[in-house]
Structure 1
Amino acid sequence: MSFRNPSDSEIQAILQRKKRIAVVGLGNDVTKPVYGVSQVMQAAGYEIIPVHPKADEVLGVKAVRSLKEITGHVDIVNVFRRSEYLPQVATEAVEIGADVFWAQLGLYHEDVPEILKPHDIVCIMDRCLKIEYARLLK
């Protein structure tokens, strides 16, 4: 199966409607791209939920250790973990009923679309949330 990201108009619609983002890998290291991306998206009005095993609070928000600890619906699972971990995170995204699985720029795993497709979870890989937001909504 060859994977293709959704069209620009589909991604634009996602960014307009989906406002609650669980960011897997978001810790307190301000030098990492995950921090900057999350900070920009939070400032743009998105609710950011840090998912990190060692963080207590990030960007003024209580962090959770795993996706399963999040209360309420998650619109987008934004992943900043190495590509080999994407299938595991995709499985967790299915378990919590997320709408969108978004793997950051440089991240891709061929098994992920097959994990998500039966559950109608939109899959976006190898794209930066912040860049797409700036390109399609600003």
Structure 2
Amino acid sequence: MPVDSDERLREILEEETIAVVGLSSTPGKAAHDVPVYMREQGYEVIPVNPYAEEIFGRDPYDSLADVEEAVDIVDVFRPTDEVPGIVDEALGRDDAGTVWLQLGITHDEAGERVEGAGRNFVQDRCLKVEHQRLFE
């Protein structure tokens, strides 16, 4: 069952590094503005977008599997049909303790796989909204 308690959400949001799959280079899009907010709150945000040249002054990774830094949270801004592949990449990492699907994105089967691997799964919730609600 996806994480839904405020206590668990608060614990997850106390982590420091977020790989954002589908991070957009376009201001005004949620896939850009939410990561901007998270950076402003002190999080390390790692962009994952094979189509962008530069985001936040750095080269984005083509895939989650290519990310060299340690990752605490995998934040997903991609369509539902891409979630299983992203989960495969997240589960292939030793460090990604949480897979977080942004508002409007759900995938129960992928969530069961994440939870079966002993990791946290959050779906249909916005990082920014939850952070503001729990910490401001």
The two structures have a TM-score, normalised by structure 1, of 0.92
Number of matched pairs: 135
Alignment of 1:1-138 (within 5 A): 3-16=1-14, 18-97=15-94, 98-138=96-136
Rounded to whole Å, the distance in 1 between the matches of 2:133 and 2:28 is 23
Rounded to whole Å, the distance in 1 between the matches of 2:9 and 2:106 is 17
* Partner secondary structure for residue 108 of structure 2: coil
Q: List 4+ stretches of structure 1 deviating above 4 A.
A: none
Q: Which runs of 5+ in 2 are unaligned?
A: none
- Is the 1:87–1:115 contact (alpha carbons within 8 Å) kept by the matching residues of 2? no
The two structures have a TM-score, normalised by structure 2, of 0.93
- When structure 1 is superposed on structure 2, of 28-37 and 111-120 the one drifting more is 111-120
* Aligned CA-pair RMSD: 1.2
- Is the 1:56–1:64 contact (alpha carbons within 8 Å) kept by the matching residues of 2? no
Rounded to whole Å, the distance in 2 between the matches of 1:119 and 1:56 is 33
